Structure 1
Amino acid sequence: MSLPSPSTAPRDQNGDGNSDGDGVIPFGTTVIHSDRVNLSTPILYSNLRDKTIVITGGASGFGATCFRAWASDGANVIIGDINSTKGTELVAAVRQATGNSHLHFLPLDVTSWASQAAFFKQAAELSPHGGIDCVVANAGIADAKENAAFEEPPDYEHYQHSPSDADGETAPQAPSLKTLDVNLYGLIYTAHLALSYLARNPDSQACNVQTPAAPRDRHLLLVSSIAGLAGLPSQPLYAAAKHGVVGLFRTLRLITPIKHGIRVNMINPYFVDTPILGTLGSLVLAGGGMATIDSVLDATTRLVADQGIIGRALVIGPKTAAEHARIVGLELDAADQAVWDVHADDFEQSDLFTRRIIGVTNLVTRARGWAGVATDIANKASSGFWRALGY
């Protein structure tokens, strides 16, 4: 399906819900999405106070940065991480610095369902109001050796013979997929549990684009990467996992606000100098443009604090001036901008296409009725009968 370019395609300018003759069909009013994020407006830091926020992978890097900042803003923050020593020390230090007693560390292995289930249960119990307002699915790794081994496999055509095997050959070993276990499957565990707990957050209301601030929230923030929107040489497993996160976001942003009143957003940072980048990554990117941890924090805080932002994704890159932005066809919201809304025209159009295909299927099914069901079953049974007879 060919989609018009967001930069050239006119929109529904008069707001009547009809296409303006360019083939771009407005998404309609059956979904709950906010408009493109206005990055020039102030961040609602005050709305973080007394919110209970859960962060996976919160003991270091980006997770730890968010923890420190939001704790200072008066949020109740519970972090989980596989590194218990670092997590415990971080919480103790931030408690002392902020005087905020509603900060906690819980051991967490995101690759373990039992560990995640226990983590969420304890987090809700530790919350002053007995619920969770926001879940940041952040835990991730970037294993350079694992990705390199995947790209350069051994010659499996020449197995080492082993007399212990019945067929006389030793089967090749499966590749290590820890990157997928943590970055995709672990995140899916987190998202699944988040949907359950957020939907039942006491005293919370279903998300609404007209409500930028409220005492309680229902917010799932997925942490992807620029590698979720484009290929990443030398990191095929990492890119595959982050593309999976984008796919999850594109689906949940459609259904979750309607079914559970939960707003779902995503961030896609460019390379940032955090431990996940590693020494080699830092050397490769030396002298080039990189995103800063402060820019990532600002983008994430905006999404967490503004409850009117629903179904949006932000890319965080190097700060750029108006001239550079103009050259590549971008429009600045603010001077020296580093954060950009992933203008979701393509999301909206492809989502609408999918809904129409399903709608056509439903209409055909309705028109055929029970007679169509009976006919299909009879045809299947008949073909099976004749195949059994050898025809």
Structure 2
Amino acid sequence: MYTSSGPVDASVESKAGSVKGRTALVTGGASGLGEAYVRALVKAGAHVVIADRDEQAGSKLQNELSDSTTFVRCDVLSWKEQLAAFKKAIEVTGSIDIVMANAGIATNDQVFYNDISRDEPEEPDLPVLKVNIIGVVLTAKLAMWYFEKQNAGENKRDRCLILKSSMAGYLDLHGAPQYSCSKFAVRGFMRALRQQAALGNQIRVNLIAPWYVKTPILSGAMDTFITKSGAGFAKAADAAAALLCIVSNDSIQGRALAIVPRDWEGASNGYVDLNQDDFEDSPWMHRAQEYALKPAKYAMTSTDSEGNPLKTAPRQD
């Protein structure tokens, strides 16, 4: 079972020496936070595969960073295109060590909007749920497969998957049900993956949860709202530093680092460990978690305690 190692000391600046010579894949890496992750990883000595559907921006970034990057056109909702990006990473460097599941979108949300002048309700479009959940799940599926396959051979070493959620996965957020739902989902997905990793497959899974950062995904209206609120903006460079902190320290497992304004308490480097997913102050929740995981040694394997093949049936809750 996953065991908490305690919060990350975010007051200590990360050292990226262990990143040199490794290969990273960043979805949505052509702009915004993804671009910041790519630049930081390249500066630290990694080769980065930029997986993004924006061919113009991706090619431009690859040309600027030269031989340190490889751009692959990739829509994260396409299993075929994501698989091609992972295959390209193996083709170019022979290894995949770091995967940053960064790609995500935010749009005007139709879920709470109802035009009652119409005779019938309109079916809402749900692109945010699709990209921010399904896209991340596909990336994680591929990362886990390649990590486990590589670690089963002689090329065994630390390999790390980082999921991008948001502070919207921890806070109430007005008017954005799809976005909030998707980011809460990624948070829950990380919890499931860290339990799977605890079974001994030598894979680390962590999460980055940004506060508002001035990137192309941030609308003008939201920019104005945050400015007037006085909360301040987080910085893309600090998100990149948090990423390097995670990938450079192989003891960091199952943690969620929030990217927040530096003038917030305890955030001198622009990020803090949220320390919200391990029920530190709730013995009751610890007990419930223990009960929930007791059958895990059967549920997560293909055999029972006596080595007999398991036969599973669909659950009907």
Q: TM-score, normalised by structure 1?
A: 0.69
Alignment-derived partner of residue 385 in structure 1: none
1:298 aligns with 2:241: yes
Deviations 1:282-336 (A, max 9, x none): 1221242111112212112111221221111111111126xxx3xxxxxx3x7x3
1:223 aligns with 2:161: no
Q: Which amino acid aligns with 1:143?
A: T
**Runs of 4+, deviation exceeding 4 Å:** none
Q: Which amino acid aligns with 2:76?
A: V
My pick for the range that moved more, 349-358 or 188-197, is 349-358
Map 1:1-391 onto structure 2 (within 5 A): 30-95=1-66, 101-127=67-93, 130-144=94-108, 147=109, 149-155=110-116, 158-159=119-120, 173-201=122-150, 203-205=154-156, 216-287=157-228, 288=230, 289-320=232-263, 325=265, 332=266, 336-343=268-275, 344-346=277-279, 350=285, 353-357=288-292, 359=294
Given that 2:37 and 2:239 are in contact with CA atoms closer than 8 Å, whether structure 1 keeps it comes out as no
Aligned counterparts of 1:156 and 1:191: Cα–Cα separation in 2: 43
My pick for the range that moved more, 57-66 or 297-306, is 297-306
Aligned residues between the structures: 291
- How far apart are 1:242 and its partner, in Å? 0.5
Aligned counterparts of 1:156 and 1:112: Cα–Cα separation in 2: 37
Deviations 1:96-148 (A, max 9, x none): xxxxx241000100011121122212222122xx121011000011112xx1x
Q: Which amino acid aligns with 2:192?
A: T
Structure 1 residues 249, 361: CA separation in 2 closer, same or farther (over 3 Å shift)?
closer
Given that 1:199 and 1:218 are in contact with CA atoms closer than 8 Å, whether structure 2 keeps it comes out as no
* Higher CA-based Rg: 1
Given that 1:201 and 1:218 are in contact with CA atoms closer than 8 Å, whether structure 2 keeps it comes out as no
- How far apart are 1:65 and its partner, in Å? 1.0
Given that 1:59 and 1:90 are in contact with CA atoms closer than 8 Å, whether structure 2 keeps it comes out as yes
Aligned counterparts of 1:245 and 1:351: Cα–Cα separation in 2: 21
Secondary structure in 2 matching 1:285: helix
Q: Which runs of 5+ in 2 are unaligned?
A: 298-317
Aligned counterparts of 2:73 and 2:296: Cα–Cα separation in 1: 47
Aligned counterparts of 1:75 and 1:280: Cα–Cα separation in 2: 37
Q: TM-score, normalised by structure 2?
A: 0.84
Secondary structure in 2 matching 1:78: strand
- How far apart are 1:173 and its partner, in Å? 4.5
Structure 1 residues 94, 361: CA separation in 2 closer, same or farther (over 3 Å shift)?
closer
Given that 1:57 and 1:63 are in contact with CA atoms closer than 8 Å, whether structure 2 keeps it comes out as yes
Alignment-derived partner of residue 366 in structure 1: none
- How far apart are 1:38 and its partner, in Å? 1.3
Aligned counterparts of 1:277 and 1:351: Cα–Cα separation in 2: 37
Q: Which runs of 5+ in 1 are unaligned?
A: 1-29, 96-100, 160-171, 206-215, 326-331, 363-391
Given that 2:49 and 2:85 are in contact with CA atoms closer than 8 Å, whether structure 1 keeps it comes out as no
Structure 1 residues 360, 189: CA separation in 2 closer, same or farther (over 3 Å shift)?
closer
Aligned counterparts of 2:198 and 2:98: Cα–Cα separation in 1: 14
**CA RMSD, Structure 1 to Structure 2 (Å):** 2.4
Q: Which amino acid aligns with 1:318?
A: P
Deviations 1:264-283 (A, max 9, x none): 00011100111111222212
Q: Which amino acid aligns with 1:150?
A: V
Structure 1 residues 35, 153: CA separation in 2 closer, same or farther (over 3 Å shift)?
same
Structure 1 residues 360, 200: CA separation in 2 closer, same or farther (over 3 Å shift)?
closer
Q: Which amino acid aligns with 1:314?
A: L
Structure 1 residues 286, 132: CA separation in 2 closer, same or farther (over 3 Å shift)?
same
Q: Which amino acid aligns with 1:65?
A: A
